[in-house]
Amino acid sequence: MFSRDKKKWLENLLAKRGKDFDEEFTKMITIDHERDVSEFKKASKFKNPKIKELGYRYLHMIMSHLLKIKKINGN
């Protein structure tokens, strides 16, 4: 399920509307994607070929999404 922090963030997000919602949502998506890029980079360096392939396969896609959300945020 969700961690305590993630649940708290979701509850906070649901209370927001309009621009405040958009800003909080894009902030959290950026944080999540940055974490995911880091984890998939690690996976792409594993010795296990299946994990390594998984890391390589999805890293580009996640990095692409991160760049898009940063562009939306003006970063």
3 state SS for the chain: CCCHHHHHHHHHHHCCCHHHHHHHHHHHHHHHHHHHHHHHHHHCCCCCHHHHHHHHHHHHHHHHHHHHHHHHHCC
Ramachandran class of 64: left when φ > 0, alpha when ψ lies in -120 to 50, beta otherwise = alpha
Give the pLDDT confidence of 9-63 residue by residue, as tens digits: 888 889 999 999 998 899 889 999 999 999 999 999 999 999 999 998 999 999 9
Q: Is residue 26 in a domain?
A: yes
Q: What is the pLDDT of residue 37?
A: 95
3 within domain boundaries: no
Give me the domain span that covers residue 52: 19-73
Indicate whether this model's pTM tops 0.85. Answer: no
pLDDT band at 72 (very low <50, low <70, confident <90, very high): confident
Q: Is the pLDDT of residue 1 over 70?
A: no
Number of domains in the chain: 1
